[in-house]
Amino acid sequence: MTKRTDREEDDSVKYVTLCCARGGKARNRTLNVAKPRPTGKTECKARINALKEVSDAVKRVLDTNDLAGIQASKSYGSLVVGAGGFENLPFLEKDCRNYIDKARHLRLGVGGAGVLRQYFLRMQYKNPGFFYMMDIDDDGRMPFAPFVGVNHHGQSILLGAGLISSEDTETFVWLFETWLQCMDGIALKAIITDQDRVINAIALVFPNT
């Protein structure tokens, strides 16, 4: 049975939750105590969440094509051919266009670092608890370095993030020292990483981690 449905503006289904028809608590459907009629409910927890989306592999294709100046319609057409028909794709051309629009907003072009700095300043003015620090190179390059943790429910959560100018030991040392400043000197108890330069920076900034 359908428990929840989220639709687009054109009434097409964007998100749907399907649950077992035997979900919920069992209760009698009659007031006759001598001849109860059970509903068949067994509190079954089975459910499926379906989300119409563009896969990571398709996103890479769309990003590459968009940077090369290829129109979204042509990119979608090539995906249709590769899949062997429209019916074999779990998304529409509109979904591709929506993703490309979002990707373009996330890309930092010329002067992007300055725009981001102005945004951070406004955020700090509105919220004194908002913390940020920037130290970029002349080219304003900023790879994304997230701090991802796990809460007591076993769920991944974003603790913080850095936009760094390069991926060398010196830069990671700056990133970790900035993290310490943000966290009032409280170091991370454990860090999982597979990058040698990150490990070197950890040894310098978090010797007991």
Q: What is the pLDDT of residue 120?
A: 79
Element (DSSP H or E) covering residue 176? helix 169-182
Per-residue pLDDT of the chain (209 residues; tens, 9 = 90+): 766 666 666 666 656 677 888 777 666 555 565 666 655 677 787 877 665 677 778 888 898 888 888 888 999 999 999 888 877 777 788 888 888 887 776 665 556 667 777 787 888 888 878 887 776 555 555 777 888 888 888 888 888 888 787 788 888 999 999 989 888 898 888 888 888 888 899 999 999 99
Q: What is the pLDDT of residue 124?
A: 82
Q: Report yes or no on whether pTM surpasses 0.75.
A: no
What is the DSSP annotation of 92-150? -HHHHHHHHHHHHHHS--TTHHHHHHHHHHHHHHH-TT--------TT----EEEEEEE
In the sheet that holds 13-19, the strands lie side by side as 2-7, 13-19, 47-51
Q: 38, 28 in Cβ contact below 8 A?
A: yes
Q: What is the pLDDT of residue 69?
A: 82
Strand pairing category for 2-7 and 13-19: antiparallel
Q: What is the pLDDT of residue 92?
A: 83
Which residue, 57, 68, 143, is CA-closest to 96?
57
Task: Please tell me the distance from the alpha carbon of residue 45 to that of residue 38, in angstroms, as a whole number.
Answer: 19
Q: What is the pLDDT of residue 133?
A: 76
